[in-house]
Amino acid sequence: MSTVNLLQFDKAALVDWLAQAGHKAFRARQVMHWVHQRGVADFEAMTELARPLRAWLLEHACVRALPVLAEQRSRDGTVKWLFDVGAGNAVESVFIPEASRNTLCVSSQAGCAMACSFCSTGAQGFNRNLETSEILAQLWWAEFTQRLALGLGDGERAISNVVMMGMGEPLQNYGALVPALRVMLDDDAYGLSRRRVTVSTSGVVPMIDRLARDCPVALAVSLHAPDDALRDRLVPLNRKYPLAELLAACERYLAFAPRDFITFEYCMLDGVNDSPEHARELLALMRGRFAWKCNLIPFNPFPGSGLRRSPAQRVAAFAATLAEAGVVATVRKTRGDDIDAACGQLAGEVLDRTSRRGNRVVAIAASGAASAAIPGRTA
């Protein structure tokens, strides 16, 4: 008989599932403590659970992590994992330690259907949505391996922040995303505050509104252009949800958001969107709307993109133009670049199922080292 992976459940779902077999609601909290706070996968070791419940779990449940195909450590302490999600697909997660916080960048899909022109995940096409258990398995694995690696005791947390900025468009996998977010926030599990969990989206407008109602965590919006013509080219989803609609959704979200501003991500592409004129257009676009911050991400190149990173001076000038107008603009530091762990370089391995590319393994050139570790799978 197949067993249920407990990483699939948020608390409400676990309570329901246990109730079907007559187990009381408080047992769900105990099980969550063992699994998500102590990293225990072995039911025999969950000593405070009543013996009959342990026996029942042994028969019906499991706590199943994802197989690790490769782990790479950067000189700067960044760790990247390549996880096998079956049928020739793999996804990546990145642990980014800093002085004041440790952030985990989590994937939501195997590949991505949004096809942004500057993103290597987008270049691979799309295979499938990850399940809640596969999203949470990334966090579970990273939290408990890094707790050990950092010499932290029980009760101390390795990961202080989660960003849904790995592979995939999280708001295109809404049904699996929300229970995963709830477990991240749950005091009986990871207990992260809403401002320490960020969903990054290329702008799926109706789902921004649903997230506001269902689980309003911090929102980051991938803008990348100050006008529709340019954004249509860089982020094809803009043709469906143009800037006016996207910005209106951001404004609605603010009423629910854990912070009083929206973060816009802006990937700096040499000669494409990085001139002082673009910065002024962006200010004009946003004038009189709502509080925002801008996170400038120097483009991380990958083979075949045909795009170049903006020179540091141009990035600094862009940031200065925004700053002079009173907008907080930060330039994202590149982390883990010796292991291709930077934004937009996460390639994993994806068997593209969309008609755009047909049914074949798409090259994963950007993650050469990681993909080379999968025997017989390098394209």
Residues annotated as part of the active site = 92, 343
Least distance in angstroms from the C-beta of 235 to ligand SAH? 8
Compute the distance between CA of residue 163 and CA of residue 218 in angstroms, rounded to an integer: 9
- By beta-carbon proximity to ligand SAH, the closer residue of 74 and 201 is 201
* Span of 109-117, 242-250, 319-327, 328-336 interacting with ligand SF4 by CB under 6 A: 109-117
- Residue 266, token pair as written in the block: 């802006």
| C-beta separation of 201 from 223 below 8 A | no
Q: Which of 95, 124, 96, 94 is nearest to 110 (CA)?
A: 124
* Residue 346 site contact among ligand SAH, ligand SF4, none (CB < 5 to 8 Å, cut-off depends on kind): none
- By beta-carbon proximity to ligand SAH, the closer residue of 118 and 190 is 118
Q: How far is CA 374 from the centre of its chain?
A: 23
Least distance in angstroms from the C-beta of 123 to ligand SAH? 9
* Span of 34-42, 54-62, 198-206, 352-360 interacting with ligand SAH by CB under 6 A: 198-206
| C-beta separation of 200 from 332 below 8 A | no
Considering only the C-alpha atoms of the chain, give the largest distance between any 2 of them, rounded to a whole number of Å. Answer: 68
| C-beta separation of 6 from 63 below 8 A | yes
- The owner of tokens 């599990």 is 189
Q: Which of 43, 62, 49 is nearest to 23 (CA)?
A: 49
* Span of 88-96, 200-208, 254-262, 320-328 interacting with ligand SAH by CB under 6 A: 200-208
The only residue of 72, 138, 198, 200 in contact with ligand SAH, by rule CB under 6 A: 200
| Helix or strand holding residue 262 (H, E) | strand 262-268
* Residue 127 site contact among ligand SAH, ligand SF4, none (CB < 5 to 8 Å, cut-off depends on kind): none
Residues 242-271 close enough to bind ligand SAH by CB under 6 A: 265, 267
- By beta-carbon proximity to ligand SF4, the closer residue of 157 and 332 is 332
- The long-range contacts involving 63-67, CB below 8 angstroms and separated by at least 24 positions, are 63/5, 63/6, 63/7, 63/35, 63/140, 64/5, 64/7, 64/133, 64/137, 65/7, 65/41, 65/137, 65/140, 65/141, 66/134, 66/137, 66/138, 66/141
Binding mask 157-196 for ligand SF4 (x = CB under 6 A): -----------xx---------------------------
Q: DSSP string of 164-221?
A: E-SSS-GGGSHHHHHHHHHHHH-TTTT---GGGEEEEES--HHHHHHHHHH---EEEE
The only residue of 37, 146, 238, 300 in contact with ligand SAH, by rule CB under 6 A: 300
According to the binding rule CB under 6 A, does residue 202 interact with ligand SF4?
A: yes
According to the binding rule CB under 6 A, does residue 222 interact with ligand SAH?
A: yes
* Span of 38-46, 90-98, 208-216, 297-305 interacting with ligand SAH by CB under 6 A: 297-305
The only residue of 91, 114, 189, 339 in contact with ligand SF4, by rule CB under 6 A: 114
- By beta-carbon proximity to ligand SAH, the closer residue of 72 and 200 is 200
Indicate the length of the chain as a whole number. Answer: 379
Residue nearest to ligand SF4 (CB): 122
Residues 202-221 close enough to bind ligand SAH by CB under 6 A: 202
Positions that interact with ligand SF4 (CB under 6 A) = 112, 114-116, 119, 121-122, 168-169, 202, 222
Q: Which residues lie near ligand SAH (CB under 6 A)?
A: 118-119, 165, 169, 200-202, 222, 265, 267, 297, 299-300, 343-344
